Structure 1
Amino acid sequence: MVDLDPIPFADEETGTEVGRTVTASVGRPARTRTPMRSSGRPRWPLLAILLLTVLGIAHGLAIWRGMGGLEGLTNGWPLWRDDHPLYYHSALVTRAFLHQSATTAGYDPAFMAGYAKSVVFPASSTLPELVVWAFGGDRPELAYKLYVLVSAIALPWLVALAAAAWRLRARGAALAVLLFLLYIWTDFPINYAAFGMLPYLLAIPLGLLATGLFGGYLIQGGILRWLMVTSLMSLTVMVHLTAAMVVAPAAALAYLAALIAIGAGSPGGRDLDAGRAEEPTGGDRVIPRRFSASRHIGVWLVPLFVLASNAFWWLPGLWLSSTKGASDFAFAHSSEGVFRRLLQIVTVEAEVQSILLALGLPGLVLLVRQSRIRGMALAGFCVSGLFWGYLAGGFQVLDFLQPGRHTYACYTALAIAGGAGLDAFFLRLRGGGEGASRLDRWAMAAALVIGLRMLGPALFASLRERLWAGEPFLSSRPSSRLLWVIDRVKAHVKQGERLLYEEGGKGLSGIPDPFQRGRFSGLLPEHTGVELIGGPYLHAALTTNFTQFGEGTLFGKSDWDREHFVKYARLYRVSAILCWSPRARRFCRSNPDLITILDDDGAVLIGAVHGFAGDTIVGAAHVAAEPGRLHVRAMSPGVDGSIVLRYHSVPSLRARPPIPLDPRFEEGDPVPFIGLRPPPGTREVDLEMVAPF
């Protein structure tokens, strides 16, 4: 027999089926469908809302514990592990850039002998920069930690809102949030918070919500919906640029589904062409609508407004594109092979990935059947994540996009689909006839037991490792080594002087990381007032990244010697050195005429470097450097009439008052240094990086 009764689903468009009665086959009594909507809206029962609330609060408490509670939030120290110091320093200097040029780009003299900070690098720091600019005041570290706290806590609530955008019932939304939280806590994504990659962690749920609302706009139109969609998509792209790699294809697929529905009068067209009005009885009646020209225009205006509203951070990347250097592809998998990566889902990766695939794929089918446009939007989001996360590994040319991270987008979309599918399954059980009224509850209990058995140990281990086994994973409590470094730098290096700083990172074979994943360099300019050669990130995608010291390499050379050291110390004018690798420590002890060791804790030493004081390579001048500006005073040109500063030149550098600028390449450094040719009598000049128009 053919079952003509469709599976009851969360967003069943019952209003388009007024008067329809499902007739049973011969010999089978007619069944009453489980009511899915009341007055055209999904039902949100109290128990499901309570579950959603409990899940959100539990996740929030875990993040709160991970940050060390109130003490960790207010201890006066920034987060100092992994990429957090990079983002924190970027936020500090960008406050000046926003004031000077209303963009997030500017000249940062604190690292790499001066470089152009922009969306070229770091590419995803806009959100913390705006938060610290708006709320930092005299407590920027507190504003930054509040940004981390709120961003991490918001994740399940954004997923719940995304579920509502896809018209899931409350139980479906709660199940989607549960699946999502199990995924991020038992698989890799929670590490994004620890690594400082909060923008990406936040951007995917934001993008999912924006995509769901875009599907709603395609179906129903309206200026308010358009404003919500445009605002959320603009925010998503601002939070992390690469979110567009999954949001744009998903939105395009939903738009294509709408166009096909118009042309073919397909079942998806009922979403598009049917409006609703409540009858006095509480039922729905159909109001025909068409996909108007204004809605087409609205669709095409979305990307234009997204670009326009974000121009303050992406536009400088155009005229600073020449500053881009080689990238360190942390999330590229072209060397692993596509089929191997796909096979690892069921053989190596966390069990939750297999569970999400098993639950999410049927859920996607149901969503597409229930609402072609919204369903295709979610399918597009999921497939985009699948392509970038796995299939793009077959194209090495795409490695620069670091596409492997987008598995997170794929599984987050599958969590929404899985919640919808599970809810539909339980509803089907509840409506299965006499004697089956509690079968759905038994099924939910069984699913809970199975889920606990499969994911419980991994969840417990994850929570224990991050929250209770030692220092919490988002703790900002300073380590003894951090305090030692800051104290010694303050004691032995004057403000404005240059410190040759051996940054930590991937470490050296057989040598433990003396900084315990700490990247202290990003904190030193604020806490000590020095400039650093080394840091804030050893693999910055900039041409100035040649000017680095870390992981056993000094200025691009791993087997460096005294000649190499002296050649570049003369250029960068270093006054002190702080190092930890065996080669660097031996070098300091073997050259007492060049370096005087000031302190050594057995792992890290600090020493004074002799013979390279001053702010210039050629001529003489005094430079007072600050974010976005160099104040050059007491200029005295060399014999050729020029002055060459120890600072790198950048595109669109301007002098006030205007004087000739003559960028000068020195000693194999791929980036030229700032050269000046001051007219007679000119003793002072200010240098700024400005827009070329």
Structure 2
Amino acid sequence: MDEQPNPGFRTQPSWLLVVVALVVGQLGLTDQLFGGREGVRDSRPIVAGRHPLHFYHGLLGAETFRQRTATACFDPNFQAGYPKTPVFDGGCRPAELVLYFGGEHAGPETYKFGLFLASLAVPLVYVLAARGLGISAPAACLAGALGCGVWWSPAVRGILDSGHLDFLLAGHAALVYVCWLSRYHWEPSVTAWVILAMASVAGWYGHPVVILGLAPILGIYYLAVAPRHGLAWHLGLYGVTLFGLALNLWWLFDWGKFWWLRQPSVDDVAPLPTWDVIVDTLPGHARLFGPAPFGWPLVVAGLFGCMVLAREKHRSAPVVLLLTAGLGFLVARLGNVWPPMANGEADRAASLVVGLATLPAAAWLALWAKRAGLTRVVVVAATGVVLATGWGGHWTEPLRYQLGIQAEPIALGLSADQATLVQDLQQRTTAEARILFEETPTGQPGWNWTALLPWLTNRAYIGGLDPDAKFEHAFCRLRGDTLNGRRLTDWTDVELEEFCRRYNIGWVVTRSASARDRWRRVSFAKEIQQYRDGGDVRLFELKRTKSFILTGQATLSQADRRKIVLTDVVPVDAPHPDGGPIPAKVIVLSLHYQAGLRAGPGVLLVERDPDPSDPIPMVRLRLIGPQSRIVLSWENP
């Protein structure tokens, strides 16, 4: 082979001290993210973006995995029961992993510690990716320093704050994978294979769509370089793909099974934009990379760096980088102009393009420094900037501002008003009925903290899980002036009473003036408390008989992700389902039906009880007669 790596850390181990210094600097910046080390160790949950949702689902998934080596489960504490799956919510997979290893008593501090370690590893990821390109140890150190800047840039910080850790995990895995593909071509060693395999495993686990998106790059790479290699090389590359898939099949089956368990959107069939819209103009492209550190200059420096790599006979590296960056750019542009891609927030791919550009940019900068005899000066200066921004305190705020470093503390813990609301929900409500919780639009600070409500209060809710959830069970919700997709003012008191009976609503929390005014006019509703949480919040108590049994009699003794237990069950006669002369005995539950629900003993059939105001029916059990105890469970058959 004519491609060889530049001297690395094995031949120049002193540069490892710089890597250690970069990690120390990143440690300081990560401390700032949590407002100090105490912010990592205390029990305050992260309430920014969808972190509360991922933490809540992470707890459910980790507990389920301990029970039966799977993370999909049926959660009865939101939406009258819904399946928590790898599709909704896919972003909780990193949380599930961390909380599983945190043990049975893992809590918010475990989740935060996992995020702390992920942030700390960023310079190491960029150094590892740089070595995959075969660039020198000093250049790899520069890549690590620039990588820290990318991590704290507005674009990536926005992804971090929104809670999309799955994209961050998959994106960094893709970064390492793409770089080591070229290394595997000209140095097909065991080390290269292991790193590729681990990157494949992490990428599939983080987000399959990101790794699947690299398929065209892998195909072009294989067709271009495969003829130069023997059987062992081919088997090794196949092994990387199979290894990544094999270690993720346990949840990928569920991901494929539940892919369509979501509400269709009109944006799903939006026409593809024309090429002039996709290509846009140079100012439009600049806006795409605007939030990146140094913006367009870093991307341009990456292009120069690709020429440096090509001149150093590392021809496969710049080709793979440019192809991947081009694909990422196209995806990011579509994420800006095409609704189906925008719904998936595909514009995040711009951050991957910037991350890829960082590596050849570091190679170009290192070459310039080497020719000027300033290699150590440049590397030490870059490392010093990371250390200064991490540990310099308020004295370095102008420097952080100029570099676009955003290490402000992330939102931790409930506000005093939220804590008061939680306390009152515990004291003024009971577990014998659900709470209808009005959802607020996303984008407000701490908007998704309500996903923690079952964990905080041990109550069941309709609404509050995720206002933007796109799966069928999220249809039943109160949001502004709409209830179950229908204007609240169009509901009569009789219809509202039937709705509350069907879903066993005992209390209502309103967060908008229209909902507050409508529930004030409901004859069986009584306002009992007022709060503040980004606006006026009211708690109403409903004067109605509370029961999770819609037809028949029973006592709900337990309802959690493991099982639902009914005691003292007395069914009622109902027509035989086949029209036979012998009536069947049934009991109908205020619980959403899900295929795969199992019940016993004495249960002949678990079937649907249609609901005219909800696409998801309730559960009807056909019994042989009265039962002292019935157990329902869902193990995703």
Q: TM-score, normalised by structure 2?
A: 0.86
Aligned equivalents of 2:330, 2:174: Cα separation in 1: 17
User: 1:3 corresponds to which residue?
Assistant: none
Aligned to 1:541: 470
- The match for 2:596 among 644, 652, 673 is 652
1:235 alignment counterpart: 202
* Shift, 1:586, TM fit: 1.1
Amino acid at match of 1:541: K
Contact 1:345 / 1:353 at 8 angstroms: preserved in 2?
A: no
Match of 1:357 in 2: 299
Question: Is the CA contact (8 Å cut-off) linking 2:3 and 2:186 kept in structure 1?
Answer: no
- Are residue 405 (structure 1) and residue 372 (structure 2) matched? no
1:611-630 pair list within 5 angstroms: 611-623=544-556, 624-630=558-564
Alignment partners' CA distance in 2, 1:445 and 1:150: 25
Partner of 2:572: 638
Amino acid across the alignment from 1:353: G
Query: How far did 1:202 drift?
Result: 3.0
Contact 1:385 1:406 in 2 (8 A): yes
Q: Identify the match of residue 366 of structure 1 among 297, 308, 311.
A: 308
Using the TM superposition, name which of 247-256 and 394-403 deviates more.
394-403
Q: 1:107/1:590 Cα in 2 relative to 1: closer, same or farther (>3 Å)?
A: same
Cα 1:85–1:392, aligned 2, differ >3 Å: closer, same or farther? closer
Q: Superposition pairs for residues 658-677 of structure 1, below 5 Å?
A: 659-677=604-622
- Contact 2:569–2:626 under 8 Å retained in 1: no
Alignment partners' CA distance in 2, 1:401 and 1:465: 24
**2:452 match:** 523
Structure 2 residue aligned with 1:678: 623
CA contact (8 A) 2:568 2:629 kept: yes
- Aligned equivalents of 2:572 and 2:309: distance in 1? 74
Could you tell me which runs of 5 or more consecutive residues in structure 1 were left unpaired when the two chains were aligned. Answer: 1-10, 16-35, 263-290, 431-436, 508-512
> In structure 1, how many angstroms separate the alpha carbons of the residues matched to 2:218 and 2:358?
19
Indicate the SS of the match to 1:95: helix
> Which is further off, 240-249 or 569-578?
240-249
Q: Does the Cα contact within 8 Å between 2:439 and 2:467 map onto a contact in 1?
A: yes
1:541 is displaced (CA, Å) by 2.2
1:493 aligns with 2:493: no
Give the TM-score normalised by the residue count of structure 1: 0.79
User: Residue 162 of structure 1: which of 113, 129, 144 is its match?
Assistant: 129
The separation in 1 between residues aligned to 2:400 and 2:451, in whole angstroms, is: 33
- Tell me, yes or no, if structure 1 residue 565 matches structure 2 residue 496: yes
Report the equivalent of 2:323: 380
| Structure 1 counterpart SS, 2:128 | helix
Corresponding letter in the other structure for 2:462? I
Aligned partners of 1:194 and 1:397: how far apart in 2? 23
Quote the Cα distance in structure 2 between the aligned partners of 1:195 and 1:212.
Answer: 27
Unaligned regions of 5+ residues in structure 2, if any?
389-395, 575-584
Structure-1 separation of matches of 2:13 and 2:91: 39
- The separation in 1 between residues aligned to 2:236 and 2:458, in whole angstroms, is 50
Structure showing greater Rg: 1
Contact preservation (8 Å) 2:555, 2:566: yes
Does the CA contact (< 8 Å) of 1:632 and 1:686 recur in 2? Answer: yes
SS in 1 for 2:152: helix
C-alpha RMSD of matched pairs (Å): 3.4
Q: Distance in 1 between matches of 2:10 and 2:223?
A: 26
Distance 1:465 1:318, change over 3 A: closer
- Partner of residue 27, structure 1: none
**Residue aligned with 1:121, SS:** coil
CA distance change for structure 1 residues 461 and 485 in 2, over 3 Å: closer, same or farther? farther
* Superposition deviation, residue 483 in structure 1: 0.7
Q: Measured at CA, do residues 444 and 229 of structure 1 come closer, stay the same or move farther in structure 2, by a change above 3 Å?
A: closer
SS in 1 for 2:424: helix
Task: Name the counterpart of 2:235.
Answer: 297
Quick check: 2:72–2:86 contact (8 Å CA) kept in 1? yes
CA contact (8 A) 2:19 2:141 kept: yes
Is it true that 1:197 corresponds to 2:164 in the alignment?
A: yes
* Residue in structure 1 matching 2:508, options 574, 577, 595: 577
Cα distance in 1 for partners of 2:433, 2:596 equals 26
Return the match for 1:415 from 358, 381, 384. 358
Of 627-636 and 220-229, more deviation after overlay is shown by 220-229
- Name the residue aligned to 1:555: 484
Judging changes above 3 Å, is the alpha-carbon distance between structure 1 residues 457 and 145 closer, same or farther for their aligned structure 2 residues?
same
Shift of 1:334: 7.4
Could you tell me how far apart the structure 2 residues matched to 1:638 and 1:674 are?
15
Q: Provide the rounded CA distance (Å) in 2 between the counterparts of 1:419 and 1:141.
A: 37
Amino acid at match of 1:403: A
Matched, 1:218 2:185: yes
Partners of 1:205 and 1:424 lie apart in 2 by 25
**Residue 88 (str. 1) matches residue 18 (str. 2):** no
Equivalent residue for 1:599, pick from 529, 537, 545: 529
The 8 Å contact of residues 141 and 379 in structure 2, kept in 1 or not, is answered as no
The one-letter code of the counterpart of 1:460 is Y
User: Is the CA contact 1:359–1:421 (under 8 Å) kept in the aligned structure 2?
Assistant: yes
Structure 2: distance between partners of 1:341 and 1:257 = 32
**Is the 1:192–1:198 Cα contact (8 Å) retained in structure 2?**
yes
Shift of 1:366: 3.0
Displacement of 1:105 in angstroms is: 0.5
Q: Distance in 1 between matches of 2:206 and 2:378?
A: 42
What is the identity percentage for the equivalent residue pairs of Structure 1 and Structure 2? 22
- Alignment of 1:252 with 2:219, yes or no, is yes
Separation (CA, whole Å) in 1 of partners of 2:3 and 2:232? 24
Instruction: Give, in whole Å, the separation in 2 of the partners of 1:504 and 1:461.
Output: 35
| Counterpart residue identity of residue 595, structure 2 | P
Task: Say whether residues 1:345 and 2:275 are aligned partners.
Answer: no
Q: Give the structure 1 partner of residue 250 of structure 2.
A: 312
What letter matches 1:535 in structure 2? G
Distance 1:169 1:496, change over 3 A: farther
Q: Which amino acid aligns with 2:98?
A: V
Task: Give the match for residue 391 of structure 2.
Answer: none
Distance 1:414 1:123 in 2: 28
Instruction: Tell me the residue number matched to 2:415.
Output: 479
Q: Is the 8 A contact 2:91 2:163 kept in 1?
A: no
Q: d(CA) in 1 for partners of 2:106 and 2:421?
A: 22
TM-aligned CA deviation for residue 678 of structure 1: 1.1
* Residues 521 and 532 in structure 1, CA contact (< 8 A), matched pair in contact too: no
Distance 1:419 1:376 in 2: 17
In structure 2, C-alpha distance between the alignment counterparts of 1:313 and 1:663, rounded to whole Å: 27
3-state DSSP of counterpart to 1:604: strand
Higher mean C-alpha deviation, range 673-682 or range 239-248 = 239-248
Q: Distance in 2 between matches of 1:465 and 1:663?
A: 51
Cα distance change on mapping 1:552 and 1:240 into 2, 3 Å: farther
Deviates more, 1:210-219 or 1:380-389: 210-219
2:153/2:405 contact within 8 Å kept: no
Superimposed CA distance per residue, residues 256-278 of structure 1 (whole angstroms, 9 cap, x where no aligned partner): 33126x2xxxxxxxxxxxxxxxx
In structure 1, which of residues 131, 155, 158 is the aligned counterpart of residue 98 of structure 2?
131
- Paired with 2:356 and 2:194, the residues of 1 have a C-alpha distance of 23
Q: Given residue 572 of structure 2, which amino acid in structure 1 is its aligned partner?
A: G
Q: In the aligned structure 2, how far is the partner of 1:301 from the partner of 1:109?
A: 41
Q: Following superposition of structure 1 onto structure 2, how do residues 115-130 of structure 1 map, counting pairs within 5 Å? A: 115-130=82-97
**C-alpha distance 107-44 of structure 1, shift in aligned 2 (>3 A):** same
